[in-house]
Structure 1
């Protein structure tokens, strides 16, 4: 096929004939332009996928309809690598920063606005807030307690300590139960009468058992019910065996017991003031039975004691209480400097080798402080069951004999102390 046939076919497609086609030579000499380097194409956007070009042959007549050419779609440009994520903040550090605004430098930059919920970072952490509130409450209570203690000290200093009681005060103590403390106290009370004087027995033990041993009927009233009620102690004394005057602890309700303990804690010389109101003389003897262990009642009794009798037994358990009782009795301001402390081994069973060995241990440990040894004797328990006074029996038992000897030793000490006071004056 020659060129003429090609032109005829082309004209036929457009509804024309080849006869109307005339070819002529151009008068202009066209020169080819030197190739121009194409500029670097910018990455085509995804929307520019198609381009339209008009193709014309320089030697042919222009066509009435341009040809359409399709270029391949430009590849999507690679997205720039995202910046590395910030390192996680440790939990401990994050908790510390909760109470402060979030640092803007910790937020990664972005081209689009961030939509965030209100952050709790501007609020203090709940656990820390609760801890601070509890600390404030504790501190307030400590300040209040200190203020009350200082006020109690000021009131005590304003009232001052009353004058020393003229009577001889014997305090019976023990750090261990079951050693026969109350039984021994009752026996001593019935045998400590001085010529021309009275013997008073005061029960500071909440067990309220001293009245059994002294033959006094149980009553509701006692030191607790009389406290703060305007009643004087000497008006409520009840007679017992051998003329002993007893002031029982009494049966106290919760309110009365709380008021009594409060009075003892608030006033260190509470018992001294009570004895001072009883107008006791130099021939009077006061014997105080205290509760077992270290209590407010014991502290009040030691404050007025002239003689302290520590009751123990010849066994290992009692031996282990010697160090604690010594620390208690030798503590500053625990008792008057003029008071004396002695030990009594009670309920001693001479038939047992172990008891004899333990007694030897006590003797070596206590030395001159061991004042007496009271034998184990069932007569005391039987006398309590029958309501009799064991100390007034026609034939005293071995235990009663030991108690009598102990009472005589205390009487000698009373006379010696009286003579020393007279010489001091």
Structure 2
């Protein structure tokens, strides 16, 4: 798949790369002042001479990528890929990864570290996903992390609770970046709204809900391309600006939820348990049924795309022991599950409801409340 560019004695390479790897390559090349085509060339040459077997790169959802190589290199590269028994897409991904690893130092490695991705999910409504998403995002920001909190639920409860207007249907939003990037004129960062206040130091940003996200599953059903990776492609350009991305998911098991779960998978050499799914549940029976449905979706997605998606922990939300045997016995069952473990029990107290009423972040409104300390505990458990 090459076409001659004889004026520069180079050939056009047209292949595919995962969005996260392509973004990391662009950032690292810019940091080092290296032309992208030279970085890819050096990576391929190193790959061709590298004698030790290289790790397989997750290329599911890879998107189009093009650059220029010295004349003849692409042909020899494809032959070498065939000799090693890998596709040229896999070979290119390994070559790029090799170049990145060979050109990392302490400063650049810190800058391009893979952003942490926390997906708060449960297809059952009313279990406290929004409160949990907002609380842990605030707690991360308190520790000095740069946090993007995404209202991925078209109902927009998160945006409403923080007095942030949802984006009207037809206006540019996350949905635009997922389904029709050619129409996107603003960056994700430009769409995000900073949360004011000294407690978060300008480090907490919220990407508002979009009313047309109600049609996201239908749009994804007709999308021409890999549907499961559209959220990752949309967010990849913003990842360098944040340390943590927290997604408040809709009560759904549809295609949009597949894209969110895929985004939370373990990437490459990312440490185990750094990114993944946090699952809010309640101490009652219907919550257990909903959890079982979510686990089936996680297992199916993992099998379909050969990925690892960590369940980072359960949070038993809105717990009140005064509700009697149903509550206490259900909590015992959650704690007895073992894996994933219960990382916190968040009691049903007034401060969270009051914070919603006055449209303030919980950790701003009641920073010393028991619920605020529970959110901080969750963040510590996730580290």
Are 1:376 and 2:331 matched, yes or no? no
Task: Find the structure with the greater CA-based Rg.
Answer: 1
| Partner SS for 2:321 | coil
| Partner SS for 2:257 | helix
Query: Which one has the bigger strand percentage?
Result: 2
Provide closer, same or farther for how the CA distance between residues 197 and 261 of structure 1 changes in structure 2, counting only shifts above 3 A: farther
In the TM superposition, what is the alpha-carbon distance from 1:369 to its structure 2 partner? 1.9
Gaps of 5+ in 2: 1-59, 65-88, 98-111, 265-274
Are 1:408 and 2:380 matched, yes or no? yes
Query: Which residue in the other structure is 1:295 paired with?
Result: 254
Provide closer, same or farther for how the CA distance between residues 280 and 365 of structure 1 changes in structure 2, counting only shifts above 3 A: same
In the TM superposition, what is the alpha-carbon distance from 1:177 to its structure 2 partner? 0.9
Select 2:130's aligned residue among 169, 182, 190.
182
CA–CA separation in structure 1 for the residues paired with 2:161 and 2:345:
20
Query: Which residue in the other structure is 2:151 paired with?
Result: 203
Gaps of 5+ in 1: 1-154, 413-425
Under a length normalisation based on structure 1, what TM-score does the superposition of the two structures give? 0.54
Provide closer, same or farther for how the CA distance between residues 405 and 157 of structure 1 changes in structure 2, counting only shifts above 3 A: closer
In the TM superposition, what is the alpha-carbon distance from 1:395 to its structure 2 partner? 5.5
| Partner SS for 2:141 | coil
CA–CA separation in structure 2 for the residues paired with 1:173 and 1:255:
19
CA–CA separation in structure 1 for the residues paired with 2:342 and 2:124:
17
Provide closer, same or farther for how the CA distance between residues 385 and 194 of structure 1 changes in structure 2, counting only shifts above 3 A: closer
In the TM superposition, what is the alpha-carbon distance from 1:230 to its structure 2 partner? 2.5
Query: Which residue in the other structure is 2:174 paired with?
Result: 223
In the TM superposition, what is the alpha-carbon distance from 1:201 to its structure 2 partner? 1.1
Query: Which residue in the other structure is 1:116 paired with?
Result: none
Query: Which residue in the other structure is 2:263 paired with?
Result: 304
Provide closer, same or farther for how the CA distance between residues 334 and 214 of structure 1 changes in structure 2, counting only shifts above 3 A: farther
Are 1:358 and 2:330 matched, yes or no? yes
In the TM superposition, what is the alpha-carbon distance from 1:261 to its structure 2 partner? 5.6
- Asked whether the equivalents of residues 219 and 250 of structure 1 are also in contact (C-alpha less than 8 Å), the reply is yes
Query: Which residue in the other structure is 1:171 paired with?
Result: 119
Query: Which residue in the other structure is 1:326 paired with?
Result: 295
Are 1:251 and 2:185 matched, yes or no? no
Are 1:389 and 2:358 matched, yes or no? no
- Alignment RMSD: 3.2
Query: Which one has the bigger helix percentage?
Result: 2
Q: Which has the higher contact order (CA 8 A, sep 6+)?
A: 2
- Asked whether the equivalents of residues 314 and 340 of structure 2 are also in contact (C-alpha less than 8 Å), the reply is no
- Asked whether the equivalents of residues 216 and 240 of structure 1 are also in contact (C-alpha less than 8 Å), the reply is no
Aligned residues: 257
CA–CA separation in structure 1 for the residues paired with 2:143 and 2:335:
33
Query: Which residue in the other structure is 1:212 paired with?
Result: 160
Provide closer, same or farther for how the CA distance between residues 278 and 345 of structure 1 changes in structure 2, counting only shifts above 3 A: same
CA–CA separation in structure 1 for the residues paired with 2:213 and 2:308:
36
Provide closer, same or farther for how the CA distance between residues 406 and 196 of structure 1 changes in structure 2, counting only shifts above 3 A: closer
- Asked whether the equivalents of residues 265 and 296 of structure 1 are also in contact (C-alpha less than 8 Å), the reply is no
Are 1:398 and 2:370 matched, yes or no? yes
In the TM superposition, what is the alpha-carbon distance from 1:235 to its structure 2 partner? 2.2
Runs of 4+ in 1 over 3 A off after TM superposition: 155-165, 194-197, 253-266, 333-336, 338-341
In the TM superposition, what is the alpha-carbon distance from 1:337 to its structure 2 partner? 1.5
CA–CA separation in structure 2 for the residues paired with 1:304 and 1:278:
14
